[in-house]
Amino acid sequence: MTPVKKRRGILTTVFLLLIAAALLWHLFIIGEAFAYRWINPEVTPYMKLEEARLKAEKPGVKLRHQWIPLSRMGNNIKRAVIASEDQKFLHHDGVDWDALELAMEKHIEKGKGGGSTITQQVVKNVFLSHKKSYIRKGREILISLVLDYIWPKSRILEVYLNTAEFGEGIFGVEAASRYYFGCNASQLSRSQAAFLAAILPRPKYYQVHRNSAYIQRKASRIQAYMGDTPLRAAKESVVR
C-alpha cells in the first residue's frame, strides 16, 4: 500500500468513526427522551453547573428547586408562559419555523437570537448545553422534532416549568413562586404569573431589576394576552 492510500484509509476510518460516534450520541439522547417521558429529570446538567458555580463564587446561595406535577400548577402560569414564550405551542411540531426564520434574519442583521419554542428550550435545558453555536442549534431542532413526537404537550410544558431558570439558583416555577411571592405555583395570581413569564429570557438580570419599567410593561402585555391563550387544542391539552 502506498503512503497516499494509507493516509486516505486512515482519514476514511476516522471520518466513519466520527459519524458512528455522532449517531450513537443522538441515539443516547433519544433514549433519554423516551425515559424522561415518564421519569422526571430532577436535576439537569445546567442546574449542576450553576450549583457548582454558586458553591465556588457564592457559598451562601443555595440551589432552589422543587419538582411538582403539572396538576399542581395553576392555569395562570401555564397561560402566561405560553403567551410570552410560545403562542403557537399547542399547534407546532416542536419548532416554530416562521419564528425561527425571523430569528435567523435578526441574527444576521443585528447579532440577536431568539425564536426558540418551549420544546426547544426543554431540549436546551435538559439534553444540551447553553453554549451558542450552529451545531448545537441544529441538534436542538432535530431533538425538538423527536421530542414533540414522543411527548405530549402537557409533558413538555411540565418539564419546562420545572427546569426553567427564574433567577440565580432558582429553578422551576414552584421555587420561583415561593421566592418571589411566598406562595405555591397553584396560587399565583394573573399578575404574578405574568411577572414570572416576563423575566424568563434574562432571569438573573431581572431578578435584580424586577421593578424596572420594562418588566412592568412586559408583564402587563403578557397579562393582556393571557385571556386569549388557550390551554386546549384539537388533540392536545395542558390542563390536568
Query: In this predicted model, what pLDDT tens digit does every residue of 142-157 receive, in sequence order?
Result: 889 999 999 999 999 9
How far is residue 100 CA from its own chain's centroid?
15
Q: What is the pTM of this model?
A: 0.85
Q: How does the average pLDDT of the chain come out, rounded?
A: 84
What residues does 165 pair with on adjacent strands? 171
pLDDT of residue 123: 93
* Strands 170-171 vs 165-167: parallel, antiparallel or unpaired: antiparallel
Whether residue 62 is predicted with pLDDT greater than 90 in this model: the reply is no
The answer to whether the beta carbons of residues 85 and 93 sit under 8 Å apart is: no
What residues does 65 pair with on adjacent strands? 171
* Percent of the chain scoring above 70 in pLDDT: 81
Residue with the larger pLDDT of the pair 12 and 32: 32
pLDDT of residue 111: 47
Integer Cα distance of 127 and 156 in angstroms? 13
Whether residue 59 is predicted with pLDDT greater than 90 in this model: the reply is no
Q: Can you spell out the DSSP letters for the chain?
A: --HHHHHHHHHHHHHHHHHHHHHHHHHHHHHHHHHHTTS---S-HHHHHHHHHHHHH-TT---EE----GGGS-HHHHHHHHHHH-TTTTTSSS--HHHHHHHHHHHHHHS------HHHHHHHHHTS-S---HHHHHHHHHHHHHHHHHS-HHHHHHHHHHH-EEETTEESHHHHHHHHHSS-GGG--HHHHHHHHHTTTSHHHHHHSTT-HHHHHHHHHHHHHHTT--SB-SS-B---
Q: How would residue 8 be classed by pLDDT, with cut points 50, 70 and 90? A: low
Summarize pLDDT for 67-115 with one digit per residue, the tens.
999 999 999 999 999 999 998 998 888 888 887 777 666 655 554 555 6
The answer to whether the beta carbons of residues 74 and 196 sit under 8 Å apart is: no
